[in-house]
Structure 1
């Protein structure tokens, strides 16, 4: 990783707080720009924590336009 990526990852270690879904998506889209192609990323959090919103932003940052939905939401509404 380069210097830019090192700074971004160290910022993530200390934490980033967002105040809206739109802001979470924007931060994730920016984060996506610095991810190495072979990275495996895992997310953990309570229901409603914003994991799907974050992944939606990651997808947009990677140029993925498909609809991103929550697997938990689908399971809870079967």
Structure 2
């Protein structure tokens, strides 16, 4: 999957959570990886809440980094 985006008018309604959980269900037993901007604080909170852990940061510019996160099989959600 290349991108998963919820339209701004619909953010905050649990749609992103539901989509990520459905993806996880369809790929149970597999390591999952995603990335987002270090400035996307809502995304980072969501991913952490769903059990993703940061494993790498890649600088793109002086003011922007990509944060890479993973979720390994068997990790519990909080």
| Bin of the TM-score, shorter chain as denominator length | 0.3 to 0.5
TM-score, length of structure 2 as denominator length: 0.41
Identify, as 1 or 2, the structure richer in strand. Answer: 2
TM-score, length of structure 1 as denominator length: 0.41
